[in-house]
Amino acid sequence: MNATATLTLCHLNFPANHECSCSFLCKPNLALNLFSSNTRTNHCLQKRSSLPLGVSSSETAHLVVEDDLNTFLQILPCDLRDRLLNDSKRGQLLEVILDLGRLPEARYQGEFGGKYLRSNEVSIEELEYAQNAVGEFGGDNRAGIEGTLHRISAIRSRKGSIVGLTCRVGRAVSGHVDMVYDLLQFGQSILFVGRPGVGKTTVMREIARVLSDEFHKRVVIVDTSNEIGGDGDIPHAAIGNARRMQVPEPSLQHKVMIEAVENHMPEVIIVDEIGTEAEALACRSIAERGVMLIGTAHGEWLENIIKNPTLSDLIGGVETVTLGDEEARARRCQKSILERKAPPTFYFLIEMRERHYWVTHKTEKSVDMLLRGQNPSVEIRKRDDGFNVVIERWQTYDRHEI
């Protein structure tokens, strides 16, 4: 059965006592009825009333995107700055690449591709200028620009000097959270996966704001490269009232996660780029204490996490079980089968296939079915031509080989 539900945005920045006209938001105790019923709701978009100086804002029917492109451009050579300032595609600008001895390049979202910004190469002086204009680079070779969400990543020579920079535009996007607003009400942990640049960090930032400001939860962000809360000691307004813990060294992320739970009594922990076994175990320990986790991991599909021995604990872990002859015959399978070891740390897993096309799994069910070689039912969440969120329930998952 295919069913479609349309969510038209809303609920941005409503005061705590706002009386929402739709039954969707106001239902106090939504039953966990995901995958079993349709929801239709109408809200209205309220955009932020005022923006800090120098911050530009663009708006579609349902999204408010704030960047601070002027500050971003300040770290670039003057001629590139002027070129990009007058660029008609500046709203789609994702990254500027500065590699020593090569032509500087701008990369844009999706179909806009990339282009060279001038016909002469990047000089060492230009790299040094950019380096001086940003904050200190951490152990992960990432730096930021104080008070902004931009991320600057360095490539170093064998001697340690910087020979390349990837300068990524950070944006605060209000309204994007609508893709999962209903899921947030369940209070269950959610893991986002998706290829680099698909928008995982950006949506985590907005989830932090919505959970802290609208759901009034105690939210702590473990911000390993200051990418969610931005550079500097005062976090960016885009995370709302969520608190942010910085991490001195990327390898200490798991320790800071545990410290967050032990010292600051969070109801929600948000952590980007879970990538090591220690971090996966920290997630399990946090979830076992009843704290909601919102995280991201690299990998495009659920199958990537199932197959990854470092990360598979996030979805419950996988073990080989040997069945007795009778059991194997009854199940019509081989004697040696794969099974999920434990309850998954993340109740939901969302594959961000594209910025506006997400596949939602109930992790436990999907993992069990995939391990048995079956196709689970999933929810497709996407935006239609009018930018309304459309949820298609009971869709058959297009599984990938595991």
Ligand X SMILES: Nc1ncnc2c1ncn2[C@@H]1O[C@H](COP(=O)(O)OP(=O)(O)OP(=O)(O)O)[C@@H](O)[C@H]1O
**363 closest CA partner among 399, 303, 318, 315:** 315
| Beta carbon of residue 168, minimum distance to ligand X (angstroms, whole number) | 5
Q: Give me the amino acid identity at 11.
A: H
Closer Cβ to ligand X, 237 or 323, answer by number = 237
Under rule CB under 6 A, residue 110 binds ligand X? no
**219 or 370, CB closer to ligand X?**
219
Q: State the minimum distance, in angstroms, from the CB of residue 195 to ligand X.
A: 7
Q: Is 103 in the site for ligand X (CB under 6 A)?
A: no
From the centroid of its chain, how far is CA 382? 16
Number of H-type helices and E-type strands within the chain: 11, 22
Nearest to 73 by CA among 48, 100, 98, 101: 98
Strand-pair partners of 319: 339
**299 contributes a contact to ligand X by CB under 6 A:** no
Query: Is residue 202 part of the contact set for ligand X (CB under 6 A)?
Result: yes
By CB under 6 A, the residues from 137 to 196 that bind ligand X are 168-171, 173, 176, 194, 196
Q: According to the binding rule CB under 6 A, does residue 275 interact with ligand X?
A: no
Selected from 22, 30, 55, 65, the binder of ligand X by CB under 6 A is 65
Min. distance of Cβ 150 from ligand X in angstroms? 8
CB atoms inside a 10 Å sphere around CB 18 = 13
Give the three-class secondary structure for 388: coil
Query: Min. distance of Cβ 121 from ligand X in angstroms?
Result: 25
Tokens matching residue 182: 């209903």
Q: Is 94 in the site for ligand X (CB under 6 A)?
A: yes
Provide the terminal-to-terminal Cα distance of the chain, rounded to the nearest Å: 26
Q: Which is nearer to ligand X, 246 or 377 (CB)?
A: 246
Q: Does 355 bind ligand X (CB under 6 A)?
A: yes
Question: What is the separation of C-alpha 134 from the centre of its chain, rounded to a whole number of angstroms?
Answer: 24
> Which pair of structure tokens corresponds to residue 158?
């064998």
Interface contacts to ligand X, rule CB under 6 A: 65, 94, 168-171, 173, 176, 194, 196-202, 355
